[in-house]
Amino acid sequence: METAIHELTAGYALDALEPTEREAYERHLAGCARCQEELASFWEVTGALAAAADGPAPSPALRERILDEARAEKQTVVPLESRRRISPVLASVTAIAAAVAIGLGIYAISLHGQLGDTKSALSAQQSAAAVLADANATTVALKSGSGRLVVAGDGSAVLVLDELPAAPSGKTYQAWVVTGRVPVSAGTFTSANGQAIVPIPRTVPSGAVVAVTVEQAGGAASPTLPPVAASDPV
Amino acid sequence: MPAPIHAVVPLPDPPDLWSMRRHLAHLSDEALVALVARGDEAALAELYDRVGRVAYGLAFRVLRDDRLAEDAVQEAFLGVWRTAAGFRAERAKASTWILTLVHRRAVDLVRREERRRADPLDEATSDLATSESAEDAAWLGFERERVQAGLRQLPHAQREAIELAYYGGFSQSELAERLGVPLGTIKSRMFAGLTRLRELLQDGAEEGSWKPQSTS
């Protein structure tokens, strides 16, 4: 078994694993120094393969578009490393997970979470207030939709949405925490007076994205794309 | 006499930008990523100037579509812009990190689009619309020959598995089906092939044993 998952390092470096296998490998990688080292050396090889790809040169407009976009985007300062040390390779993996999540909708639909809030409305409001009052909280911009995601030092988070119309009749809003490629439900909620303050009932790890979809009343087991709002990677 | 606009909107003077760019030119890629993590746009531009050519070439090879390839490169560089603080240089080179992001994005896109190239092994990209410098072209040509020489030394089945996966965007299970061999065989071919290619490239780098092929 150990040998089998170790051998996946090559497929992972070549981006040739199926989504479920990719996730299983990343979980394994977190605790396997041997695979981390092997992966780093395989990435050097794939980097050489990239340089040898022999494709055409990009249009000069691409450079300007990237720089314009970067400038327009209020850069979210993500102190990934200031809170806790993680291994360099794992840090790269986290960054890749974040990049993968950027597109939202490219993830495999597999759901591990359970639906609905476990907290009462009152305690949810209290936890939201605690997060918003946390001096160490970081604010993450939304990639789409209007509002922001506030993440406290302990990973608890509140999604604040502005200009959110009431959900259509028979529908509800549902929040999702997307870590890597796996969206996990963070419960359903409604909009009041064009605004919603949504406590996320689970911790939001570095690299994760919080997204909102419109679902049938009662919520769905997997998100219906496209999302109506999505944060930048935390 | 027009109003003194610069007093209202203090834009940096072009000469300052130029000296900034010259200042960045001697920094390592990894140092540039550290600057990017602090929101330095000039550092992002410099990184793009160094890696963008290869990044786009790779994305285009996988996606075979200029718009999709541009999307992949743009999203990867914006991923760099957003997550540079998470990069640590102890193990991975910055350029490798960026190309890994580009490749992952390109593969995700090609699988989503179901754009399947007829045969990714075909070399059909000689008509390069390039504006690159001769220096860049020479380096890329060297690197390409070095890697091609390594690939040629692999057993055919291993080379095929690596090229179809990396340049074709095929997953291991897709390849098992396409080539009609057990999944375990594909996994072993990729592992053995990448391990051997690593040795070949390291040997070439260390001993300088690699000799350019005569151009033909």
**Structure tokens that stand for A113 in this block:** 């979470």
Question: What pLDDT was estimated at residue B193?
Answer: 97
Eight-state DSSP code of residue A225: S
Euclidean distance between CA atoms B204 and B155, whole angstroms:
18
Question: What pLDDT was estimated at residue A83?
Answer: 37
Say whether A71 and B147 touch across the interface (CB within 8 A). no
DSSP characters for chain B?
A: ----HHHHS-PPPHHHHHHHHHHHHTS-HHHHHHHHHTT-HHHHHHHHHHHHHHHHHHHHHHH--HHHHHHHHHHHHHHHHHHGGG--TTTS-HHHHHHHHHHHHHHHHHHHHT---S-TT-----S------HHHHHHHHHHHHHHHHHHHTS-HHHHHHHHHHHTT---HHHHHHHHTS-HHHHHHHHHHHHHHHHHHHHHHHHH----PPPP-
Which chain B residue shows the shortest CA-CA distance from A140? B82
Say whether A42 and B194 touch across the interface (CB within 8 A). yes
Note the pLDDT tens digit of each residue in B49-84.
999 999 999 999 999 999 999 999 999 999 888 888
Say whether B91 and A44 touch across the interface (CB within 8 A). no
With both helix axes pointing from N to C terminus, report the angle between B183-207 and B134-152 in degrees, rounded to the nearest 10: 130
Question: What pLDDT was estimated at residue B171?
Answer: 95
Contact between B29 and B94 under an 8 Å Cβ cutoff? The reply is yes
Query: B43 to chain A: which residues are within 8 Å by CB?
Result: none
DSSP characters for A24-42?
A: HHHHHHHT-HHHHHHHHHH
> What value of ipTM does the predicted structure carry?
0.80
Question: pLDDT > 90: what percent of chain B?
Answer: 48
A contact test, residue of B103, B148, B196 with most A CBs within 10 A: B103
**Structure tokens that stand for A42 in this block:** 């395989």
Contact between A114 and A221 under an 8 Å Cβ cutoff? The reply is no
Residue with tokens 């070399």: B123
Say whether A47 and B93 touch across the interface (CB within 8 A). yes
Say whether A92 and B92 touch across the interface (CB within 8 A). yes
First to last CA, chain A: 33
Distance from CA of A122 to the nearest CA of B (A): 35
B124–A contact, CB cutoff 8 A: no
Contact between A209 and A101 under an 8 Å Cβ cutoff? The reply is yes
CB–CB contacts below 8 A, A to B = 250
With both helix axes pointing from N to C terminus, report the angle between A19-30 and A33-51 in degrees, rounded to the nearest 10: 130
Which chain A residue shows the shortest CA-CA distance from B78? A70
Enter the pTM of the model.
0.59
Residue with tokens 């074709």: B168
Per-residue pLDDT tens listing for chain A (234 residues): 455 788 899 999 999 999 889 888 888 887 888 888 899 899 999 999 999 998 899 999 999 999 998 988 754 444 333 334 444 554 554 444 443 333 222 222 222 222 222 334 445 555 666 666 666 778 888 888 888 888 887 888 888 887 888 888 888 999 998 886 678 888 888 887 777 778 888 888 888 889 998 988 888 888 887 888 888 888
Euclidean distance between CA atoms B157 and B189, whole angstroms:
7
Distance from CA of A229 to the nearest CA of B (A): 18
Q: Per-residue pLDDT averaged across B197-207, rounded?
A: 77
User: Which H helix or E strand runs over A72?
Assistant: helix A60-72
Contact between A149 and A140 under an 8 Å Cβ cutoff? The reply is yes
Say whether B162 and A49 touch across the interface (CB within 8 A). yes
Report the number of secondary-structure helices (H) and strands (E) in chain A.
7, 8
Euclidean distance between CA atoms A184 and A178, whole angstroms:
6
Question: What pLDDT was estimated at residue A129?
Answer: 62
**Structure tokens that stand for A7 in this block:** 């051998």
Q: Which of residues 30-59 of B touch A (CB under 8 A)?
A: 39, 41, 44-45, 48-49, 52-59
Which chain A residue shows the shortest CA-CA distance from B37? A77
A126 vs B39, which has greater pLDDT?
B39
B101–A contact, CB cutoff 8 A: yes
Query: B194 to chain A: which residues are within 8 Å by CB?
Result: 10, 13-14, 42, 45-46
Question: What pLDDT was estimated at residue A121?
Answer: 42
Q: Is A72 exposed, middle or buried (0-12, 13-18, 19+ CB in 10 A)?
A: exposed
A57–B contact, CB cutoff 8 A: yes
Q: Is the peptide bond before A183 cis (omega within 30 degrees of 0)?
A: no
Nearest to B187 among A8, A47, A91 (CB): A8
Euclidean distance between CA atoms B184 and B176, whole angstroms:
8
Distance from CA of A83 to the nearest CA of B (A): 11
Note the pLDDT tens digit of each residue in B11-24.
444 444 445 555 78
Question: What pLDDT was estimated at residue A133?
Answer: 61
B117 vs B35, which has greater pLDDT?
B35
Say whether A95 and B144 touch across the interface (CB within 8 A). no
Nearest to A99 among B75, B171, B195 (CB): B75
A79–B contact, CB cutoff 8 A: yes
H helices present in A73-133, as ranges: 80-83, 88-102, 121-133
Q: Which of residues 201-220 of A touch B (CB under 8 A)?
A: 206-207
Question: What pLDDT was estimated at residue A199?
Answer: 82
Q: Is the pLDDT of residue B47 over 80?
A: yes
Note the pLDDT tens digit of each residue in B105-150.
999 999 887 655 544 444 444 344 444 556 666 777 778 888 999 9
A contact test, residue of B140, B190, B203 with most A CBs within 10 A: B190
Q: Which residues of B45-68 are buried (b: 16+ CB within 10 A; e: fewer)?
A: bbbbebbbbbbbbbbbbbbbbbeb
Distance from CA of A18 to the nearest CA of B (A): 6
B contact test, residue of A46, A74, A232 with most B CBs within 10 A: A46
